[in-house]
Amino acid sequence: MVIGMMFFHNTSIAAVRTWTGAVSTNWSNPANWLEGSIPGPTDDVYFTAADPLQGCLLDISTSIHHLSIDPIYGYLITFPAGKTLSISGDLYIGNPWIIWDNNANIIFNGSTDQHIEIDNYVDWPFYDLTINKPSGNVILDSDIIVSNIFNLISGSIDCNGFSGPCPPPCTPPQTGGIYHIANDFAL
């Protein structure tokens, strides 16, 4: 008699993850996501207008692919001090009024061009913004503000005619350097 054993390797498959806030505000709770698992580095994350029960607190540092926030999503999304959100794809914020970035670091680290678009630009600032890309540009599709540190480790930022965090003049592309920003800064 032959007894076989099967081992399953826990791999992450790229997927869409949609916030519901079904049981708490914590990002780290799988029950808060429509698909029943927290987003991973290859997942696209969506905050939609489909009536979530509550807002979201990024209670862990994490990596995702894309982040998209629907223009009529109406709950608070909090990026607290000491947490890091790494994005290897694009960032789209359709409703900047609901983001509260209080001392978090948002890192763009994809290997292809990445876009930042914030609709209805209302001086929503990144607190710390880091670009650490092995290749490709971060391309602005709207104005942005960085209120504390803009850290350009590798890669480049293409302001694409918009106001950005690079020191004047922001002529594309800007590469290299750490910029400590005393007050909210945009061109």
The model's pLDDT over 77-122, given as tens digits with 9 standing for 90+, comes to 888 889 999 999 999 988 766 776 668 899 999 999 999 988 865 5
> What residue numbers bound the domain in which 131 lies?
16-180
What pLDDT band is residue 19 in, cutting at 50, 70 and 90? very high
Round to whole Å and give the CA distance between 179 and 36.
39
The answer to whether position 7 is within a domain reads no
Whether the Cβ atoms of residue 25 and residue 19 lie closer than 8 Å to each other: no
Round to whole Å and give the CA distance between 184 and 187.
10
The answer to whether position 135 is within a domain reads yes
Give percent helix, percent strand, percent coil of the chain, each to the nearest 5: 5, 40, 55
The answer to whether position 174 is within a domain reads yes
pLDDT, tens digit, 9 for 90 and up, residues 32-76: 999 999 999 999 999 987 767 888 999 999 999 999 988 888 888
Q: Calculate the CA 108 to chain-centre distance.
A: 8
Rounded to the nearest 5°, which phi and psi values hold at 51?
Answer: 0, 80
Task: Report the number of distinct structural domains present in the chain.
Answer: 1
The answer to whether position 110 is within a domain reads yes
The answer to whether position 1 is within a domain reads no
In sequence order, what DSSP letters do the residues of 20-34 get, joined into one string? --SS-SBTT-GGGBT
The answer to whether position 59 is within a domain reads yes
